[in-house]
A = this chain, B = another copy of it.
């Protein structure tokens, strides 16, 4: 697998959230910031390699083999993110680009040793689940903060948007995985919230609260 091939497989995997759906040429091209014609080329190549099932004009979907490879790239990406944050003290917003490179390191052994070194984490620093070596994902039951009602207590389990600005907003306010959130008030007009996060009061707009996953306590 070349780096480009791996990136295409990963993109299909992520676009379908690991489900076995079809992905259009254009959607794929957009995600990889490339042109649809390039995506077509690659899909035909990946079809020849039996990594995807591709039908002209109908999009592509991962084969079992392709899905497995994709899951392992995601596994590597997320394990390296844990390493960067936990061991090298990087911030949430700094790790994505580096992990994007590290995920392509090829070694049968390295991933499993890294996993053990990190104590087999189940989620990455953004709360996204880490597939195991068979590609299985342990689904965590989480809901959006915007669906919580006043007086509820919950724990921050993940974030939806991993936009750089959003990540910086969170780390700047010291909001992190495991933070305990109590909804104090919810404004019916714009659905903004007043919340207590780890003993600090924050005013949170609807956009923020729809991008934070929590687990009710």
A109 with B90: CB separation less than 8 A: yes
In A135-174, the 8 Å CB interface with B consists of none
CB-CB under 8 A from A89, the residues of chain B are 113
Copies in the complex: 2
Q: Which residue of B lies closest to A113 (CB)?
A: B88
Asked if A177 CB lies within 8 Å of chain B CBs, one says no
- How many residues of A sit at the interface, in one of the four size bands? 10 to 19
Contact surface of A with B, Cβ cutoff 8 Å: 84, 87-90, 94, 97-98, 101-102, 105-107, 109-110, 113-114, 117
Chain B positions within 8 Å of A102 at CB level: 102, 105
**5 pairs, CB–CB < 8 Å, chain A vs chain B:** A87-B117, A94-B109, A98-B105, A102-B102, A102-B105
